[in-house]
Amino acid sequence: MHPQAYFCGSGQGFVIKAKILKREGDNRNSMDIAYTVKIIQDYTRPGEQYYRRPSVQRIHTASDSAACGTYFRIGEEYIITGDIRNQYWSTNLCSWNFQSSQLTPYQKDALEMGYYKQTCGCVVRPCFNGQCYPPSYQNSCVLGPNDDVSCFFQHNSCRRQGNDCAWHTAACQRY
């Protein structure tokens, strides 16, 4: 999935930049582990002082990657996405969890400048099994079967232009 889709799908969740402080067993569920993290930045609610959230938080995940658990290195900084249910923060292998140092300059700007947050009304629509949306599908940016998907994921976002949506830059367009 495109990073914008993870961001826009976090309505009841979080998108944060955090430093991993500690990893330990989860006392609520023996099949899970909990990471203690220091929140550096909250991209879902900037300027709202972590939406009254503490700056240190526990984030839960399955203990095994076969159960969609994710692994973070202690001391490293990550962009972490996930859900919050009844004050219980969780993430998984299918979420957009990425080492901060591995972000492209465009992805950093998209988070910092709000490109992803401000354009949730525009949907990134990839082709699946040869089934594609028409290129002019309303409020969408279509990833065609011959598009360089990794380029679009790393160097572009789908943004409102007039009454419709379009890719923000021509960086990944075929000529």
Domain boundary among 85, 100, 115: 100
Are residues 91 and 19 part of one domain?
yes
Residue 83 lies in a domain: yes
Q: Could you give the CA distance from residue 123 to residue 143 in angstroms, rounded to a whole number? A: 11
Are residues 17 and 92 part of one domain?
yes
Q: What is the pTM of this model?
A: 0.82
pLDDT averaged over the chain?
84
Are residues 119 and 84 part of one domain?
no
Place of tokens 């973070």: 72
Q: How confident is the model at residue 174 (pLDDT cuts 50, 70, 90)?
A: low
Segment 36-50, tens digit of pLDDT: 999 999 888 755 554
Asked whether the CA dihedral 79, 71, 60, 9 is positive or negative, the reply is: positive
H or E element: which one contains 34?
strand 32-42
Residue 158 lies in a domain: yes
Instruction: Give residue 18's domain range.
Output: 11-100
Are residues 82 and 67 part of one domain?
yes
* Nearest Cα residue to 59 out of 19, 25, 90: 90
Segment 108-147, tens digit of pLDDT: 999 998 888 888 889 888 877 777 777 667 888 888 888 8
Place of tokens 């999935």: 1
Are residues 113 and 81 part of one domain?
no
Residue 153 per-residue DSSP state = H
Segment 149-162, tens digit of pLDDT: 889 989 999 998 88
CB-based contacts of 79: which residues, under 8 Å, 6+ apart?
15, 16, 17, 43, 96, 97, 98, 100, 103, 111
Q: Do the strands 98-99 and 77-85 form a parallel or antiparallel pair, or are they unpaired?
A: antiparallel
Residue 25 per-residue DSSP state = E
